[in-house]
Amino acid sequence: MRTLLERTLNRVWLLRNSRKSMVMGLLASLMAIALLAAACGGDDEEKDSAPTGSETPKYGGSIKVGLLADHTGFDAPLLAGVPDIQILQHTNDTLIMRHTRTLELVPMLATSWEPSADLMSWTFHLRQGVKFSHGKEFKAEDVKFTLDRLFEVDSPLAGVLDSIKETVIVDDYTVRFDLNTPNAFLPDLILRYHAQMTPSDVDPTRFATETFGTGPYTLEEFVVGEFAVLKKRDDYFLEGLPYLDEIIFVYLPDPTTRAEALKAGTIDMIYALETENVPALEQHPDTRVSVATGAAYMNLAMNVTEPPFDNILVRKALQAATNRELILQASQFGLGGIAYDHPITPDDPVFNPSCKPPDYDPELAKSLLAQAGYPDGIELTLYTSSAGAAMVPMATAFQQSAKAAGIEITISVMPEDVYWSDGWMVKPFTTVWWGGRIPDEAFSIVYKSDAAWNESFYKNPEVDRLILKARGEPNLADRKVTYGELQCLLIDEVPRIIPVFRPLFIGLRNDVKDVEANWEDLLYLREGWLDR
């Protein structure tokens, strides 16, 4: 592990400097840190639950973030890989964003916004004087360009924002979104990372390999599968930000390597920390774990257009063979909560407690399989990976619970760097994890018939109708009825099995400040700083 880290970080330096003495100095420093960590790694000394340090943010420094290696491209509307998303979170901006602690919508490139009385249009007022990294001033033409491209390239967000009929330029700093159906939630939907603003004067073919944003950092260097270096912009429009001079994303091949690197001090944090590494990092004197709860979840996705998953009785058998409590304990140490095959948490005001899947019942599962034509049970392959969340432990727990129902599950663990391109939405039966989303987006992005991320390939006109109906219902009581019907329908047809809501973990060195796990499961470093 040390050799890999030294080679990767040394490569960062080599691409930026040429003096051999500096290379040797860096290598020696890494060796010293690793050896020191090895010497004190078993220390049982107690530590405070929260890190201590100064309260006033400090400017400067470079933070090294351990990530899984997965790259598909930097074009915002088509973002899919976890590392690519985190890079553009810091090189680009959206019109508005959700505050990581209060969850309120706050201005970013838009300073204010308001709907028409009938919810058939939304007007956004834009910040003036903002520059893209290549020098162009951000204006309404860039908003229209960005939103139009979402539909032109069939972005996953297009199915969520399909109520937008036209983006109208009112003037240089005002845009209006005219809708084809009322939508009370447009501001909540337009903040997703796929809608990061891109300049209208750049050839779109360049977006796959280059970044052009208004964000607090610029992408200085990038080597696929090894590292990315982001450099601070001195002209960022949010006064006083960012604090860090540099962000280095280090792509490390497995969760254990990332955890050991954090304890050794060769990286400063881990984004998307695996659950099984939480106890060791909590016990280590120099590291801590930040946790957030919310609507993030893990699920099993079945391609309902392929046998045997095209048979609803098989899907219902798998549902009855799902021991949710076992999965919760085995994959998340009991943290998080039980889910009921839809993305609405029990504490959400639109949650419907009257509709729930059957309790774990292997005998019911056997009966359903027999009705489906499998009286002697069934053999299935479940594809999974350590590419975020505790998908492998979930798969193992599901395998164990399904066995009692005569369902033999073979688990195929795919490499992290190809799972989201060659496994998810390619293989017929996969594990998946999702970050928190408001109900409209949570349903739209995976259940609408035309959704680009409809991972079960499930199409139901009634589901589409209910999703669109809820968008035009500003009254909570009405939405509760509509979303309640939707939850019951999805439980009954089982296009996906969602057994648990998951906690969100980030691993950090104690001197990393103002960086915490959040409800949306995104990494925000623009306010982060180092107390060193």
DSSP letter (8 states) at residue 131: B
Q: What is the DSSP letter of 532?
A: -
β-pair partners for 167: 177
Beta strands in 425-478 (DSSP E): 429-434
Helix 476-493 / helix 439-447 crossing angle, nearest 10 deg:
30
Q: Tens of pLDDT along 466-502?
A: 999 999 898 999 999 999 999 999 999 999 999 999 9
pLDDT digits (tens, 9 = 90+) for 189-219: 999 999 999 999 999 999 999 999 999 999 9
Q: What CATH code would you report for 297-502?
A: 3.10.105.10
Contact partners, residue 356, CB within 8 Å, separation at least 6: 340, 491
Q: Where are the domains of the chain?
A: 59-89+215-293+505-530, 95-199, 297-502
The strand pair at 378-384 and 407-413 is best described as parallel
State the Cα angle at 446 between 443 and 448, rounded to 5°. Answer: 75
Handedness of CA 271, 275, 281, 282 (dihedral sign): positive
| Secondary structure of residue 421 in the 3-state scheme | helix
For 11, the token pair is 């490569």
Percentages of the chain per state (helix, strand, coil), in multiples of 5? 35, 20, 45
pLDDT at 54: 53
pLDDT tens string 424-440: 999 999 999 998 899 99
Three-class secondary structure of residue 283 per DSSP: helix
Superfamily for 95-199?
Answer: Dipeptide-binding Protein; Domain 1 (3.90.76.10)
pLDDT of residue 279: 93
Note the pLDDT of residue 71.
86
User: Could you tell me which of 71, 85, 213, 190 has the C-alpha nearest to residue 521?
Assistant: 85
Match 């009322």 to its residue by tokens.
182
Beta-strand pair 269-271/62-67: parallel
Of 417, 413, 369, give the one whose Cα is nearest residue 392: 413
Cross-strand pairs, 409: 380
Residue 101 confidence (pLDDT): 81
Phi, psi of 162 (to 5 degrees): -70, 0
CATH superfamily of 59-89+215-293+505-530: Periplasmic binding protein-like II (3.40.190.10)
Peptide bond between residue 358 and the one before it cis (omega within 30 degrees of 0): no
Q: How far apart are CA 43 and CA 69, in angstroms?
A: 31
pTM of the predicted model, to two decimals? 0.80
DSSP alpha helices (H): ranges in 41-167?
82-91, 140-152
pLDDT less than 70: residues of the chain:
1-54
